[in-house]
Amino acid sequence: MQLPYAEPFKIKMVESIRKSTRQEREQWIKEAKYNLFNLRSEYVFVDLLTDSGTGAMSDKQWSEMMIGDESYAGASSYYKFLSVINNLLGMPYFLPTHQGRAAENVLFSALIKEGDYIPGNSHFDTTKGHIEFRKANAVDCTIDEAFDTTLIHPFKGNINLQKLEDVFKKHPKEKIPLCIITVTCNSSGGQPVSMENIKATSALCKKYGIRVFLDAARFAENAYFIKIREKGYENKTIKEIVKEMFSYVDGATMSCKKDAIVNMGGFIAFRDLELKKQSSVFNIMFEGFLTYGGLSGRDMNAIAQGLMESTELDYLEARISQVEYLGNRLIEFGVPIQKPIGGHAIFVDARKFLPELPKEQFLAQTLGVELYIEGGIRGVEIGALLADRDPITRLNRFPELELLRLAIPRRVYTNNHMEYVAVALANVYERRKKITNGFKITSEAPIMRHFTVELEKV
Ligand code: F0G
């Protein structure tokens, strides 16, 4: 018999989680104003709100924590971090930051002015938030295939080069400080970008004299998809693929809370020393001195170790096959999810799940609340709440996709938990015709409202 698959790790420490009753959950979610971010984590059984900062560190990462150097300037931990940036990513310079959006804040402070245009593939909400906060415009150039959840395409995160070139032709170069390629593309469903597309985007940017940066939060998962889906990469190591991905760009922002498998951290990588110097001013002002940028020495050590681990094929196979396991079970139950299955999460198509409900009643949020009530599972809405209002017209934006994201933390849950989630969602699917009322907003922030929005049942 062929031996079945098993994870390349065993578990050294466990954390108890508590089951609750349906009645308790109905009460708790009502008190939370139907915003899943407002729930206490003890009220959640399987927490799939995010894969950000929720991963389990390895024994090696924990041992690195013990030997962190907490010197204010020039800590050995900084140099350990730098050496991974140099050797793994092939980037000469970097600034540590406390998380991904802090990297965006620092870099964009140096680069973006009012009225600028920043093209990319479905910018993540914090990225878009930091662009729009500066009264600039995020232009989505994702390929159209990304918006059809049933269409199988190996690289739905790809940039449509025609859309990108149109932006370059329409606006003067001085108004386009950078183009951002998000790998994998979170907002379009955790979908990867092909090496060919990264290369072609980079060439087009070069032709027009525009900088190109990666939003590298999930760069290792992207590299895994390149290895298994793109011709010519099947025999390359993940680390070789990563090096090539970064070779086409001028820099990167990264939330280390994802593919560095730590609870907190981020960085900006640069090829150009001058831009690093310009950004350094803001790093000192917002984050901290250049050799720690909002991080403890021990955090930097754990990040350096985590980046090396997440770029191992063994680890990525376990990671992505668990996401696939959940996705395949849901497909068997007939639940409409985005295909192909993405790298860090399952994206449930709420419009197909609840076709009778009007979009003004926040479909994905409605589904998220129902799943919580069903099984104590917390997902997150990637739909109209997340999309915010248009900064000029102040009208609600209704994106093409209304998704409920179930993000899987790294190395945290077992496949039994995935099975539990699949059955709970299948139960909601079975009673979907009885879900006739969505939500309306009673209170919201002017930007990035989804974190704090308050809702009531229609
Ligand atoms: N870029 C991408 C692609 C992200 O997914 C995130 C965060 C960020 C940037 C910002 O990083 O949280 O460290 O400030 N995504 C989390 C999520 C919040 O749940 O997907 P951060």
Q: Any idea of the CA torsion for 179, 182, 187, 189, to the nearest 10 degrees?
A: 140
- Residue-range definition of the domain harbouring residue 268: 59-310
250 and 118 co-located in one domain:
yes
Give CA–CA dist 72/54, Å, rounded.
27
Beta-carbon count within 10 A of 163 CB: 16
- Of 72, 135, 144, 390, which one is the catalytic site residue? 72
Question: Does any domain span residue 361?
Answer: yes
296 and 344 co-located in one domain:
no
| Residue environment code for 432-455, b if the CB has 16+ CB neighbours within 10 A, otherwise e | beebeebbebeebeeebbbeebeb
Concerning whether 59 is annotated as a catalytic residue, the answer is: no
Our answer on whether the CB atom of 255 is closer than 6 Å to any ligand 1 atom is yes
Compute the residue count for the chain.
458
Q: List 302's β-bridge partners, or say none.
A: none
Question: Does any domain span residue 6?
Answer: no
| 3-state SS assignment for residue 389 | strand
Of the three residues 310, 345, 373, the one that is the final residue of a domain is: 310
- Of 116, 215, 299, 388, which one is the catalytic site residue? 215
pTM of the model: 0.95
192 and 224 co-located in one domain:
yes
Cβ atoms of residues 216 and 224 within 8 Å = no
- Look at residue 357 and tell me whether its pLDDT is greater than 80: yes
30 and 82 co-located in one domain:
no
Instruction: Name the domain count of the chain.
Output: 2
Mutate to test the pocket of ligand 1, among 101, 106, 126, 253 (most ligand atoms within 8 A of CB): 126
| Residue 189 pLDDT level (bands cut at 50, 70, 90) | confident
Question: Does any domain span residue 179?
Answer: yes
65 and 119 co-located in one domain:
yes
Measure 186 CA to ligand 1 centroid, in angstroms.
8
Measure 215 CA to ligand 1 centroid, in angstroms.
9
Q: List 389's β-bridge partners, or say none.
A: 396
**Integer CA distances (angstroms), 211 to 81, 199, 201, 361, in order:** 24, 13, 11, 40
pLDDT of 179 reads: 98
142 and 33 co-located in one domain:
no
Of the three residues 256, 290, 310, the one that is the final residue of a domain is: 310
Give CA–CA dist 268/60, Å, rounded.
24
414 and 298 co-located in one domain:
no
267 and 327 co-located in one domain:
no
Measure 408 CA to ligand 1 centroid, in angstroms.
14
Mean pLDDT to the nearest integer, 391-401: 89
100 and 204 co-located in one domain:
yes
Measure 138 CA to ligand 1 centroid, in angstroms.
16
Our answer on whether the CB atom of 361 is closer than 6 Å to any ligand 1 atom is no
- Of 98, 156, 258, 276, which one is the catalytic site residue? 258
- Look at residue 135 and tell me whether its pLDDT is greater than 90: yes
Question: Does any domain span residue 2?
Answer: no
Question: Does any domain span residue 15?
Answer: no
Our answer on whether the CB atom of 450 is closer than 6 Å to any ligand 1 atom is no
pLDDT of 248 reads: 98
Q: List 377's β-bridge partners, or say none.
A: 46
303 and 375 co-located in one domain:
no
Our answer on whether the CB atom of 368 is closer than 6 Å to any ligand 1 atom is no
Residue whose tokens read 């139960």: 427
Backbone dihedral angles phi then psi of residue 99, each to the nearest 5 degrees:
-165, -175
Give CA–CA dist 336/96, Å, rounded.
40
Our answer on whether the CB atom of 266 is closer than 6 Å to any ligand 1 atom is yes
Measure 25 CA to ligand 1 centroid, in angstroms.
27
Concerning whether 217 is annotated as a catalytic residue, the answer is: yes
CATH number (domain holding residue 28): 3.90.1150.10
pLDDT of 447 reads: 82
Concerning whether 79 is annotated as a catalytic residue, the answer is: no
Distance of CA 12 to the CA centre of its chain: 27
Our answer on whether the CB atom of 189 is closer than 6 Å to any ligand 1 atom is no
- Look at residue 147 and tell me whether its pLDDT is greater than 90: no
pLDDT of 448 reads: 83
Concerning whether 125 is annotated as a catalytic residue, the answer is: yes
Mean pLDDT of the chain, nearest integer = 96
**Integer CA distances (angstroms), 122 to 136, 170, 243, 295, 303, in order:** 15, 19, 24, 29, 26
305 and 318 co-located in one domain:
no
Concerning whether 349 is annotated as a catalytic residue, the answer is: no
For the CA of 126, the nearest atom of ligand 1 = 10
| Residue 390 pLDDT level (bands cut at 50, 70, 90) | confident
Cβ atoms of residues 426 and 330 within 8 Å = yes
Mutate to test the pocket of ligand 1, among 255, 257, 303, 448 (most ligand atoms within 8 A of CB): 255
Structure token pair of residue 239? 């680390």
Question: Does any domain span residue 369?
Answer: yes
| Residue environment code for 132-143, b if the CB has 16+ CB neighbours within 10 A, otherwise e | bebebbbbbbbb
For the CA of 102, the nearest atom of ligand 1 = 14
Structure confidence by residue, pLDDT tens digits, 296-355: 999 999 999 999 999 999 999 999 999 999 999 999 999 999 999 999 999 999 999 999
Question: Does any domain span residue 105?
Answer: yes
30 and 100 co-located in one domain:
no
pLDDT of 186 reads: 85
Concerning whether 286 is annotated as a catalytic residue, the answer is: no
CATH number (domain holding residue 240): 3.40.640.10
- Look at residue 188 and tell me whether its pLDDT is greater than 80: no
Concerning whether 236 is annotated as a catalytic residue, the answer is: no
Question: Does any domain span residue 445?
Answer: yes
Mean pLDDT to the nearest integer, 104-109: 98
Measure 53 CA to ligand 1 centroid, in angstroms.
10
Measure 51 CA to ligand 1 centroid, in angstroms.
9
Give CA–CA dist 92/216, Å, rounded.
16
Closest by Cα among 171, 172, 167, 155 to 120: 167
Cβ atoms of residues 373 and 39 within 8 Å = no
pLDDT of 228 reads: 97
Of the three residues 310, 338, 358, the one that is the final residue of a domain is: 310
